Amino acid sequence: MLNTPQYHHDPVKFKSKYYDAMASSHHSSYNDFYGFSATFSVPSPPPAPVGQPLLDTQEKSEFDSWIDNNFNTTVPSVDPSHLFAPDLQNDSQYWPDMSPSYQAPDLSPHHGYLSNNMDGYLANNSVSSAPSMAPPQIDINPFTGHDLLQRQHEHSPPQLNNNHSLLNFGTDTNFAPTGYHPPPPVVQLDKDIEIRSKIYTAFPKNDSAVTTAVNSPTEIKYERMGEDTEEDDDSTPYYRDDDNTPSPSVMSPGGTMKRRIDGMDDFMSKSRKQQRLRKSDASARAKKKAAGAKRDNLSEAQKRENHIHSEQKRRNLIRQGFEELCSMVPELNSGGYSKSAVLIHAANYLDDLKKGNARLRIYLQQLQQRGY
Amino acid sequence: MASERPRLSEQEKKNNHIASEQKRRMAIREGFDRLTEIVPGLEGQGRSESIVLKKSVDHMRDVLNERQQLIQRIQALGGEIPAELR
């Protein structure tokens, strides 16, 4: 048959296309037979001359017989680029660099050939329209491609199809005649989210991760959370914090974060703790969002309980600190002092201790110097 | 007599209560501030109360230990420890 110009093409993809077409024995649609770009939604080049089929009946039968001869039994051994040959003869309109009598180009660099053709194409048709359209939707699935082609046949004028079938830009399907169009990433994202939400909902509902149990206190006490920092409203001793004053409705979310942090007893820096808290909060929120409404039943009551627990924890730690101070400072051993009194006494005591130590250190130095 | 003194209105009581509560909290805050000045490692921090207390207790222990060591060394050198420093 014809001499075969080398096309830079992905043989695998091509073969699968070919198989597909062969299986359904649609030789009549060979114009779109290798229509990789048949689904490009690009501004169409000028329509082909109407009434002039690409192949006359003789060429068609030639092609068919050639197909039969070469692809009867095994396909893969044949260079698939041969399949391009039949179209070329009468396609001078789309390969303007070539004379109609064009037979066998010597094409050592494939790209050069392609780009030459492209240059001609661009020059001839003056593709100046901006590529404002959406990225081309390319169907690379070999098993659906044929269907798409068929559909396109039905819905669009045939000359458009013929045009597109000739515009193949290497193996990268993102290249259209108007340039490079990155594939839309949105679809992937949606899928991701969908999968993730499925995973989340697949797990049994378990609130324990969010509502971490408080280990120390056993019963829930309500406290006046509306008050800013301290518990008592008079200068009674500090250990009277836990009178039961159930008024949970007064709870204000402002400043609760800071307070909760105060309750933690490890000596990390505060900012790091805040970070950690915020992170965990955020992740919990994200999980809830991903799982949709199912996760939403960490109800207000549960949140309030969590808050109460953490607030209790914090105050227990503070109370422990005060009790320890009381046990260490002689003046406070009797107990029953207000918080401010404990603090001031402790501070005074500590001051005294340090001053005394300083005195003793000097004394010790004097003793040591006298000794030598 | 007490009956001649005009009774405080509810609002006045409330205000008094708020004022005394603020006073109390101020006193506590000052106590914490003093401790943060004394205890090393708490100086510049936005402290939480529990941390200030814990560090204060730890520091107090350290100082007491140091006191004991100083006393022992002084006594080993034949020194006399003043009564108020024992």
Tell me how far apart the alpha carbons of residues A262 and B51 are, in angstroms, rounded to a whole number: 8
Which residues on A lie below 8 Å from B54 (Cβ)?
Answer: 265, 267, 317, 321
Q: Is residue A360 exposed (0-12), middle (13-18) or buried (19+ Cβ within 10 Å)? A: buried
Q: Which of A233-242, A289-298, B26-35 has the lowest mean pLDDT?
A: A233-242
Report the 10 Å Cβ neighbour count for A238: 24
- pLDDT at A134 > cutoff 60: no
**3-class DSSP state of A176:** strand
What is the structure's pLDDT at B80? 83
Under 8 Å CB-to-CB from A110, ≥6 apart: which residues? A6, A7, A8
Which neighbouring-strand residues pair with A176? A179
Give pLDDT, residue A217. Answer: 44
| Residues of chain A positioned with their CB less than 8 A from the CB of B85 | 356, 359-360
Please, which pLDDT band fits residue A151 given cuts at 50, 70 and 90?
Answer: very low
Question: pLDDT averaged over chain A?
Answer: 60
Say what the pLDDT of residue A62 is. Answer: 87
Lowest average pLDDT, out of A102-116, A308-322, A336-350, goes to A102-116
The residue behind tokens 């006594």 is B75
Partner B contacted by A257 (CB < 8 A)? no
Is residue B26 scored above 70 in pLDDT?
yes
pTM of full prediction above 0.95: no
Coarse DSSP helix, strand, coil percentages of chain B, rounded to the nearest 5 percent: 70, 0, 30
Question: CA A214, CA A308: separation in Å to the nearest integer?
Answer: 10
What would the mean pLDDT of B75-80 be, rounded to a whole number? 86
pLDDT at A49 (0 to 100): 54
User: According to the model, what pLDDT value does residue A226 have?
Assistant: 41
pLDDT bracket for residue B23 (50, 70, 90): very high
- Give mean pLDDT, residues A50-76: 73
User: Considering only residues 27 to 46 of chain B, which have any Cβ-Cβ distance to chain A shorter than 8 Å?
Assistant: 27-28, 30-32, 34-35, 38-39, 45-46
Per-residue pLDDT of A206-218, as tens digits, reads 544 444 444 444 4
Q: Do B77 and A229 touch (CB under 8 A)?
A: no
Compute the nearest-CA separation of A313 from chain B (Å): 11
Checking if the pLDDT of A281 tops 60, the result is no
The per-residue pLDDT for A311 is 94
Nearest Cα residue in chain A from B35? A347
Under 8 Å CB-to-CB from B26, ≥6 apart: which residues?
Answer: none
- Does any CB of chain A come closer than 8 Å to the CB of residue B65? no
B25 touches chain A (CB under 8 A): yes
A23-48 per-position pLDDT tens digit: 444 444 444 455 454 444 555 555 55
User: Best of A261, A329, A367, A370 to disrupt the B interface by mutation (most B CBs within 10 Å)?
Assistant: A367
Q: Residue A236: closest CA among chain B residues belongs to which residue? A: B24
Q: What is the pLDDT of residue A322?
A: 92
User: What is the C-alpha to C-alpha distance for residues A44 and A249, in angstroms, rounded to an integer?
Assistant: 68
pLDDT at B71 (0 to 100): 92
Lookup result for tokens 């092609």: A63
Which residues neighbour A159 within 8 Å (Cβ) at sequence distance 6 or greater? A47, A48, A50
| B62 band by pLDDT with thresholds 50, 70 and 90 | very high
Q: How far is B42 from chain A (nearest CA, A)?
A: 11
d(CA B32, CA B44): 13
On whether any CB of chain B is under 8 Å from the CB of A363, the answer is yes
